[in-house]
Amino acid sequence: MFACAMYPADDVFLLNVVDEVKTQVKRLQRHPSLAMWAANNENEAALQGSWYGTFGKFEIYKADFIKLYVDTIIGNVSQLDPSRECLSSSPTNGIQTKLEGWVAQNPGDSRYGDVHHYDYYGDTWNHETFKRKTRYASEYGFQSFPYIGTLEKISSNFDQWTWNSAMVEHRQHHPRGQEEMRRLIQTHLPYPKNYNSTEAFPAMIYMAQIVQSMGQKTQTEFYRRLMDKLDEKDGTGHNMGALYWQLNDIWEGCSWASFEINGRWKMFASYMKRSFHPVLPSPYKNFDGDVVVELISDAIDDFSGHMRVRVFKFDSLTPLFDVTTLVAGTYLTSKEVFRIHEEDLERVGCDDGKLDPYPCLVHVTMPGTPTNFLLLHYPTNKSHLKFPNLRAVEHTASSDLKTFTVTLVTDEIAPFVFLNLRDSTHGRFSDNGFIMVDSQQVVTYESRDPISLHDFITQLDIMSLYDVTAVAQD
């Protein structure tokens, strides 16, 4: 209830807070997903950094901070729910914050406690952008808009939907949010020259979901790979948690959410389902140009299996490189299990991409784990993409009309395949937003409510990155 602001600490207000704490702790404390309590969001950092002009009266606000969050909230929460820790703020430096008198010199220090980290301007598809080796990443994220059909339901005039229109800005509550998303799209994808047009708006919405999903994937896997790594020089690393912002929408607007207000899964939700899988092969490019695959494991039992690593160019379904190897993982580790040296990438034609218009990607599969991939170069130009002729060739339904199977086929590599049921929001696909590198792939849809097979087929939309090239610049 306390976030990003300075609050009073007079007796009347504090009595109100005590009632609030009692009500909420008793209401929520039996939820099994509740790990800990936090007295506020970012208010320690706000006070120390004078976000709201408090520098000249720091000691007064610090005294109020301690009275409200430490004495009143922590004091009452610890009595009502002694089984869980109550933090004085988030981010906070934990024990170090307490030693510094509850307002640390550097709240969110990577060596202690938890960290909130956002980056809207770097290369968010490159793990090296996220250099902070945190102990616990408790907040990070990127924005996108919901599915275009969701937005159409709140406006009777589609001509109002352009990237910088007054209507869209009304749905965007983050300062500079439209510009930040636009820059991320321009950096990584075929950018429409007429991006601020009604014609380009559906493409921009789709690509905003891609850059959100890819940024969150890259940052999440970076944090997970740090779990067993400690930098002896500065004491950072050993990251043991990642909480992305945010789970669900509260309206049909731009946000950091993974689920729309109507329950529809954004592309981002499917990415997080994969990125947080207990066992995950995670490819990345390291500082010397090699591609490294680490096997991340949160599974209590040891894990082993045959992992297949392929390298493709966007112009062919035939891999340039194809190796299968036996790998193993153990609990709470992220270990290198495979490496492709830079000279081997160059040998198969995946150099810096300057001489060849077709980017390369690394594709990793392993039984029992999600498929994963790494783009070695970004498809920023429509010439990077060939018409995939992506289509569904078979649809089947279960007897209760709640489970549907779709067989997709493609003639070329289809990046960021997005499946959607236009009028059905209470269901999800087994995978979405994936890069299709095989000629055929089977996807299922689980619905809460029965749907006729005819309605499923007529509502199903299928698209890939190629479909935005009609509005992309030359």
For residues 98 and 70, give the distance between their C-alpha atoms in angstroms, rounded to a whole number. 10
Residue type, position 410, single letter = T
Residue among 42, 180, 252, 294 flagged as catalytic? 42
For residues 135 and 405, give the distance between their C-alpha atoms in angstroms, rounded to a whole number. 41
The total number of residues shown for the chain amounts to: 474
Residue among 44, 139, 252, 294 flagged as catalytic? 139
Burial (CB count within 10 angstroms: exposed 0-12, middle 13-18, buried 19+), residue 415: buried
466 — phi, psi (to 5°)?
-60, -30
Taking each helix axis from N to C end, the angle separating 201-225 and 267-275, rounded to the nearest 10 degrees, works out to: 10
* Strand-strand pairing, 333-340 and 291-297: antiparallel
Is 42 labeled as catalytic in the residue annotation? yes
For the range 47-53, what are the long-range contacts, defined as Cβ-Cβ under 8 Å and sequence gap of 24 or more? 47/6, 47/103, 48/103, 48/104, 48/105, 48/106, 48/107, 51/4, 52/5, 52/6
Is 85 labeled as catalytic in the residue annotation? no
Closest to 221 in 3D by CA, of 112, 108, 369: 369
For residues 298 and 176, give the distance between their C-alpha atoms in angstroms, rounded to a whole number. 37
For the range 121-127, what are the long-range contacts, defined as Cβ-Cβ under 8 Å and sequence gap of 24 or more? 121/180, 121/183, 123/187, 124/184, 124/211, 124/214, 124/215, 124/218, 124/219, 125/188, 125/214, 125/215, 125/218, 125/375, 125/378, 126/218, 126/285, 127/218, 127/219, 127/221, 127/222, 127/284
| Positions marked active-site | 42, 139
